[in-house]
Structure 1
Amino acid sequence: MLLNKSLNSLFRYEFLPVFYGKRNKTSSVVLAVSRKLNSTMKTLIDSKEYKNALNLFHEHYDRSTDFTRNMAIKACTNLCDCQEGHKILQKLPATSLNNPYIQTSMIHFYSFITNKTPEKALDLYDKMELEPDGIALTLLFSACAQLGNNRAKTIGKKLLEKIYHNVNHESATFNSTIHMLMKFGDLSHAEDVFDLIKKRIFTHMGQC
């Protein structure tokens, strides 16, 4: 693979500055290596070459950054590779666990792959600094519906406010919201969300 050859070529030169006594250049070379790795990982993910992305990640794990770790988690989610995903998550540094982008990818992973542990998704939501995107919202509503306990109801109601303030979510998000509310026995709010869906449909029809 040309991308991998290019990356390996750059890695070989990483230690040349030290060999020639130019240690002051090492940090800039290491930075270039990380950027190249990040760029290659993104190219592979965008091309849906998830297996190749994981192979590259493991081959150069010691040079990985939060960006490459995030790409690796996404690759596991798309491959439905639960075992590999858990291995990566277990090795994440504490700083990575606090990265909001990695937290979002972890929510996707746990919700898509590990349906038996929806509480993991809620744990990650509690730590998130960024607002959850549409996919994360859908998965979080699903996790709340699966749990159905007091904590899930509290978080679910909090997330519900985001639906009321933005009617431009995808249908899957609205459906997941209604499913959660029905699980909670909250028919009143379920009807409110259904009315939002009808309002959204009529608005789109009026724009046609």
Structure 2
Amino acid sequence: MKKLIDSQQYRQALAIFDRQLSIGDQITFTLALKACTKLNDYQYGIRIHQQLSLKAIEDPYLQTSLIHFYMQCHNIDQADKIFSTMKNKTVYAYGAMFKGYISNNMPEKVLELFEKISIKIDELIIILLFNACAKLCNNRAIKTGRDALNRLPTSFLQNQKLINAAIDILMKFGDVNQAEVVFETTQNKTLVTYGAMMQGYVTNDLSDKALDLFEKNPLKSNEVLYAIVYNACASLSNEKVIQLGKKIFDEMPKRYLHDNVLVNSIIHMFMSFGEIEIAENLFSNIKDKTSYTYGAMINGYKNNQELQKCLLLFEQVKKENLIIEEPIFLSLIGACSQIGIRSICEHIVRQIPLSQPSIYLQNALINMWVRIF
């Protein structure tokens, strides 16, 4: 079963489990639950749970597998119930709970559970805690994250993934100086480490520092670093940065142009430079355009006062039957504000799903109608 699961043949693994159900043990049950989790087969996993003996259910490894399964199936209550009945909670069980809360967009529960931990924790628990703190970024998260960082055992600081997570939360908290201290004292920097610093600089409106760090990076850059540096260039757009952005693009391995996320960042950069033709050429060469790709172009047209092209491209998005994300509507509303024709504004507004409009969308609509009238 393990070989089949390792090779992603989950159905075949479950078929073997069914044939050997009568002689199944904790290991085979754990493997079967893992296969169900990978397949998102909720009913099969529940059936496995129901077949477990009372003795098997008390096995901490099986309990952890059940927690992971139910979290993946978004059944938080059942995962909570299993965790609460564990007599000997392990660090792996806490890790499964933390991961589940984060993946189900409940980072505040990670902080609540972290405060109740009474066993010795490992680096993974701290990494997950930092991830939850970075998602929340409220006063409680900042305090919890700082306290945990200040109390880290020296041995934990050898874990590069933990260092990267620490840099990320410090940047999210706006503590750039402390993030720089952590970065400078790190000996084995990886591309993820450089990416965390560069993204942190961009987030904190220090894009010039992101560009400086990109140029100092001794490692071979990947798609993530290129995407960050293009976003940094787009946010500055002065003459020096325009030349640098073009140089970086010219020297970048062209195989990276198959990465849609990266190409979106490149389009955004060239649109910010006013290089509409280059952006259009990049856009036309993308085979599988996403809503975000169209969004980058529509926003670029809006910022360059190519307002008619915004509307034409929006019609193309609809023909492709893509899900129209909020950023596209925000760009269109901005374009309508500049066009100033009431009928066009009303036509666009009628197509916005207003069941749960965000505060950004509401403000954009208010500003548009104020300008029109």
1:104 maps to 2:164: yes
Which of 213, 231, 238 is 1:155 aligned to? 213
Consecutive unaligned residues in structure 2, runs of 5 or more: 1-76, 253-265, 271-277, 288-373
1:139 maps to 2:199: yes
The higher relative CO (CA closer than 8 Å, separation ≥ 6) is in: 1
Which of 171, 174, 182 is 2:230 aligned to? 174
Consecutive unaligned residues in structure 1, runs of 5 or more: 15-31
2:125 aligned partner: 68
**Alpha-carbon shift at residue 63 of structure 1 (Å):** 3.3
Q: Distance in 2 between matches of 1:171 and 1:88?
A: 31
The answer as to whether partners of 2:171 and 2:204 remain within 8 angstroms in 1 is no
1:118 maps to 2:173: no
Q: Distance in 1 between matches of 2:118 and 2:280?
A: 47
Q: Would the alpha carbon gap of residues 51 and 71 (structure 1) be closer, same or farther in structure 2, given more than 3 Å must change? A: same
Q: Distance in 2 between matches of 1:79 and 1:51?
A: 7
Q: Distance in 1 between matches of 2:280 and 2:222?
A: 14
TM-score normalized by the length of structure 1: 0.66
Q: Distance in 2 between matches of 1:206 and 1:178?
A: 21
The answer as to whether partners of 2:133 and 2:144 remain within 8 angstroms in 1 is yes
Q: Distance in 2 between matches of 1:107 and 1:88?
A: 13
More helix by share: 1
Which of 247, 250, 254 is 1:192 aligned to? 247
Q: Distance in 2 between matches of 1:181 and 1:48?
A: 35
Q: Distance in 2 between matches of 1:63 and 1:161?
A: 36
SS at match of 2:191: coil
Q: Which whole-Å deviations, capped at 9, do the CAs of 1:61-117 have from their partners, x for residues lacking one? A: 533221111111111111103222111111211122221111111121111112xx3
The answer as to whether partners of 1:144 and 1:155 remain within 8 angstroms in 2 is no
Pairing 1:10-49 to 2, within 5 Å after superposition: 10=86, 12=87, 14=88, 33-49=90-106
Q: Distance in 1 between matches of 2:131 and 2:246?
A: 35
1:93 maps to 2:172: no
Q: Would the alpha carbon gap of residues 9 and 147 (structure 1) be closer, same or farther in structure 2, given more than 3 Å must change? A: same
Letter of the structure 2 residue corresponding to residue 58 of structure 1: E
SS at match of 1:59: coil
2:115 aligned partner: 58
The CA RMSD measured in Å over matched residues stands at: 3.8
Q: Would the alpha carbon gap of residues 143 and 168 (structure 1) be closer, same or farther in structure 2, given more than 3 Å must change? A: closer
TM-score normalized by the length of structure 2: 0.40
2:83 aligned partner: 7
Percent sequence identity over matched residues?
Answer: 15
Structure of greater Rg: 2
Q: Distance in 2 between matches of 1:180 and 1:156?
A: 15
**Alpha-carbon shift at residue 44 of structure 1 (Å):** 0.8
**Alpha-carbon shift at residue 135 of structure 1 (Å):** 5.5
Q: Which whole-Å deviations, capped at 9, do the CAs of 1:134-178 have from their partners, x for residues lacking one? A: 9626425538973978xx88634223975xx54576755412255
